[in-house]
Structure 1
Amino acid sequence: MAKNANLTLAGPDLAALLCSRVCHDVISPVGAINNGLELLDEGGADSDAMDLIRTSALNASVRLKFARLAFGASGSVGASIDTGEAEKAAKDFAAAEKKTEVTWTGPRAIIPKNRVKLLLNLFLVAYGAIPRGGSLDIVLDDPENQAKFSIIAKGRMLRIPPKYQEILKGQLEEAVDAHSIQPYYTVLLADECGMDLDCVQGEGEITFTAAVA
């Protein structure tokens, strides 16, 4: 598989931008926890403050656990990961957001961690295709060998994330930044795994795939 023309980031820049992405994802729920504590300090409604703290703490925890699998080392170099962990991370992520239903079909398997990271990053791309919520149907075919991952996105305001499409086609005309680092990382992981990415928009749905070349 030919190297994508956009995959040119140096290691330190890639690490810095991924860190920025993770911080962006958790700063909102952590800030909400702080707001809830301030409300308690000011003698505000205890039940409302505690509900805010509980919800935000759960959201932050879910996001961090997801980020650990999707972006982190997740064990030693060459380690493998149970796809059951990826399923739980994806379903918990969607449940915390309360706007998208996730179904997961396919055999549970222990596979190379970069394949799991690719699957979860493709999930994020598909999640971004339904900004108003909807459903994501995730299907794993032969994950241990000639793997193919498919994610069918359905929802309102359906659209292929533009940065993902540009990077996938090697047509990104600007520097990769904190907003485009996640789709960039998805394409990079596919390249590292020897898997081809594709996305097809049909009537009321978009199918995102990653398949062994």
Structure 2
Amino acid sequence: MTTIALEALDLAALLCSRVCHDVISPVGAIVNGLEVLDEEKDPEMRTFALDLIKKSATMASAKLQFCRLAFGAAGSAGASIDTGDAETVTRGLFGDDKIKLDWRAPRILMPKNKVKLILNLCLIAAGTIPRGGTMTVDVEGQGDEAAVRIVAKGNYARVPAGIGALLAGAPEHGTIDAHAIQPFFTGLVAREVGMVATVRSEPEGIVIEGRPVVVETALHQDADAAQPDDGQQDAAQPDAAQPDAADVAMGLADQMRAAAADDLAPASRVAAA
């Protein structure tokens, strides 16, 4: 795979397109509700319009707050973010009944880019359960060895095509568009904080992880060490069964008796003649 590097302007433009795509739907619904209020006199329709405006405004606000932490600066360089704030914006984004969020990560201060990684992994996890389900978010370990683990379960859960290549920074077709920029950006953030982001299907569900590179390398080394090489496999094979000494002696005795019988046979025939 060939890793591609986006120009800063292209990256910014694609991220802006992604944010606009997420926000335009609720904003458009607000505009529609206002038009209904302006034109309709029926109390029932006006009540419906007000309810639409309220729900859409809440949704737009939740998406903007989430995007501010997931994509924006959210503080000065090197700033830390409370994971409780990350939980709040995530619950706001998935506040409907479609996805049930089980947030198990402890409330601690983490570097802002690691919090960005958690939020972006949550977006990827939501994409693996398009018909809804449950999403469990956990942070294992502490400090530089802290790892993010998200398990998504739901009907028709699946790993999106090409997601692994995008996380690795090497899209299959060699190009990035507004639909692919989010997982690509997730991979950039992961590498920035010395982590590797992965998505895989397991019996427990779709597992989305962000693990430190050192830990990831150690896991691969342990797996390789668990597999013996060819020399070890040959040494592990039991030697061929060795014949018992008593059996050898009995075999030699039989051969000697047979040879003696052959030597005596001609003399016996001569005597008989």
Q: TM-score, normalised by structure 2?
A: 0.73
Distance in 1 between the 2:6 and 2:97 partners?
A: 34
Which one-letter code corresponds to 2:206 in the other structure?
Answer: I
SS at match of 1:145: helix
What per-residue deviation string (whole Å, max 9, x for no partner) do you get for residues 158-185 of structure 1?
Answer: 1112242232353521410000000000
For 2:12 and 2:172, how far apart are their aligned partners in 1? 20
Q: Is the 8 A contact 1:117 1:189 kept in 2?
A: yes
Match of 2:33 in 1: 36
Give the number of the structure whose residues are more often helix, by fraction: 2
- 2:22 paired residue number: 25
User: What are the equivalent positions in structure 2 for 1:116-135 lying under 5 Å apart?
Assistant: 116-135=115-134
Structure 1 unaligned spans of 5+: none
Cα deviation for residue 98 of structure 1 reads 3.0
8 Å contact kept, 1:6–1:167: no
Aligned to 1:181: 181
- Structure 1 residue ranges (4+ consecutive) displaced by more than 4 angstroms after TM superposition: none
Higher RCO by CA contacts (8 Å cutoff, separation 6 or greater): 1
Decide whether the 8 Å contact of 2:163 with 2:199 is kept in 1.
no
Match of 1:209 in 2: 209
Q: Which moved more, 1:196-205 or 1:79-88?
A: 196-205
Superposed CA RMSD in Å reads: 1.5
Correspondence list, 1:1-213, <5 A: 5-43=2-40, 44=42, 45-95=45-95, 97-169=96-168, 170-203=170-203, 205-213=205-213
Question: Does structure 2 conserve the Cα–Cα contact (< 8 Å) formed by 1:105 and 1:139?
Answer: yes
Deviations 1:96-152 (CA, angstroms, capped at 9, x unpaired): x43000011132111110000011001000100000110100011135331110000
Of 157-166 and 186-195, more deviation after overlay is shown by: 157-166
How many residues align structurally?
209
Q: Percent identity?
A: 47
Letter of the structure 2 residue corresponding to residue 20 of structure 1: S
Q: 1:87 to 1:117 in 2, by over 3 A?
A: same
The residue type equivalent to 1:92 in the other structure is G
- Larger Rg: 1 or 2? 2
Answer 1 or 2: which has greater strand percent: 1
CA distance in 1, matches of 2:199, 2:65: 27
